A and B are shown apart, each in its own frame.
Chain A
Amino acid sequence: MDKVLHKGSLVFLDLSYNNLGDQGMTDLALALHRTHNLRKLCVVECKFGPVGAEQLF
């Protein structure tokens, strides 16, 4: 995923209804921090809490 996000031109990412949890969100956020084009992110019902949210920005 890291390669896709970093090298690609992904603008919209929807990972809703996946059981990411805090660890998944942390991993996702790390990858997202290397993107340059992402404009829209949907992570509906991904079972994360404050720990996952903290990593987003």
Chain B
Amino acid sequence: MADFNLHGTDRLSSLDLSKNNLRDEGIAELSKPLRCCKFLVSLNVSSNFISPKGFLHLSIALSRNESLCILNVSTQNGLNRNRLQKLGGQYMTSLLGTLIQVLNLNSTSLGDQGVNVIFENLAHRIENKEETHVEILEL
């Protein structure tokens, strides 16, 4: 693979930014470079005050990613709560068809409707024999 020009953080395979203050603006800033991270296998942005708007940025950035296997967008110990809610849940369904195997959406205010959105999408994929690699799903 011709990656001779990559340097610094371009070749990261694991990035843990959890428990900071990224907010939607930070996720928006990261969304463009994340599209170019061809080696990123694990991304953790749990507990970063992210709202559905930020999850829209994230889902677009990662929807065509071909390396990411582990994504954590949960809230840890109630700190800097990420709020997916139903809308964010809908955005995240676009990632269920990627290579992601471990998806953690714990404590993100998904609610019954958000959980339904995720499961309906998974059921739809199974019925229509559309690929999903999700093996571990935490809601």
On whether A50 and B12 interact (CB within 8 A), knowing A35-B7, A43-B17, A44-B18, the answer reads: no
Q: Contact residue range for chain A?
A: 20 to 34
On whether A56 and B9 interact (CB within 8 A), knowing A39-B14, A40-B14, A50-B25, the answer reads: yes
B13: chain A residues within 8 A (beta carbon): 39-40
Tell whether, in the assembled complex, residue B14 and residue A41 are in contact, meaning their CB atoms are under 8 Å apart.
yes
B21 at the interface (CB under 8 A from A): yes
- Complex Cα–Cα for A41 and B14 (A): 6
Closest-CB distance, B28 to chain A (whole angstroms) = 8
Q: How many contacting A-B pairs (Cβ < 8 A)?
A: 82
Tell whether, in the assembled complex, residue B8 and residue A49 are in contact, meaning their CB atoms are under 8 Å apart.
no
- Complex Cα–Cα for A43 and B36 (A): 20
A20-34: contact bitstring with B at CB < 8 Å (1 yes, 0 no)? 000000000100111
A53: chain B residues within 8 A (beta carbon): 17, 20, 22, 26, 29-30
On whether A56 and B30 interact (CB within 8 A), knowing A33-B7, A34-B7, A38-B11, the answer reads: yes
On whether A48 and B9 interact (CB within 8 A), knowing A43-B16, A54-B26, A54-B29, the answer reads: no
